[in-house]
Amino acid sequence: MRITCPICGERDRREFYYRGAALDRPDPETGQEAWGDYVYLRDNPAGRTRDLWYHEAGCGSWLVVERDTVSHSVLDVALALDADA
């Protein structure tokens, strides 16, 4: 699996740390239920998903990677700063 970092270009998967699903962070005041869902519950799709990767051995950027969990193909990569995550 190779991921194309918007800053560094195409790199081996080993350069990246996987964080998990890219989710919208709830408002701090939304209460325990929303935060419990955000921290623990996952759609966990078999197919297209968006997750957060950290370019640990590269530029140190957080990336939102759109990929397919069944085929392992990487479809799109954006800086988390720019992504509407």
Partner 1 sequence: MRFSGLRVLKEGLTGNRGWTPHWRDPEPKSEYDIIIIGGGGHGLSTAYYLARTHGLRNIAVLEKGYIGGGNVGRNTTIVRANYFLPGNSEFYSHSLKLWEGLEQDLNYNVMHSQRGIINLFHSDGQRDAAARRGNAMINQGDDAVLLDRDGVRRFAPYLDFDNLRFPIYGGLYHKRGGTARHDAVAWGYARGADSRGVDLIQNCEVTGIDIEGGAVRGVQTTRGAIRAGKVGIVVAGRSSQVAAMAGMRLPVESHVLQAFVTEGLKPVIDQVITFGMGHFYISQSDKGGLVFGGDIDMYASYAARGNLPAVEHVMEAGMTLMPMIGKAKVLRSWGGIMDMTPDGSPVIDQTGIDGLFLNCGWNYGGFKAVPASGDCFAHLIATGRPHPTATGFRLDRFRTGHGILDEEGTGAQHNLH
Q: Note the residues at the interface with partner 1 (CB under 8 A).
A: 1, 12-14, 18-21, 32-33, 36-37, 39-46, 49, 51, 69-72
Please state whether 9 falls in left (phi above 0), alpha (psi between -120 and 50) or beta: left
User: In angstroms, what is the minimal distance from the CB of 18 to partner 1?
Assistant: 4
Neighbours of 77 (CB within 10 A): 19
Cα 28 to its chain centre, rounded Å, is 21
Closer by beta carbon to partner 1, 24 or else 71? 71
CB of 59 to partner 1, least distance (A): 19
Pick 28 or 46: Cβ nearer partner 1: 46
- Give the span between the Cα atoms of 68 and 85, in whole angstroms: 18
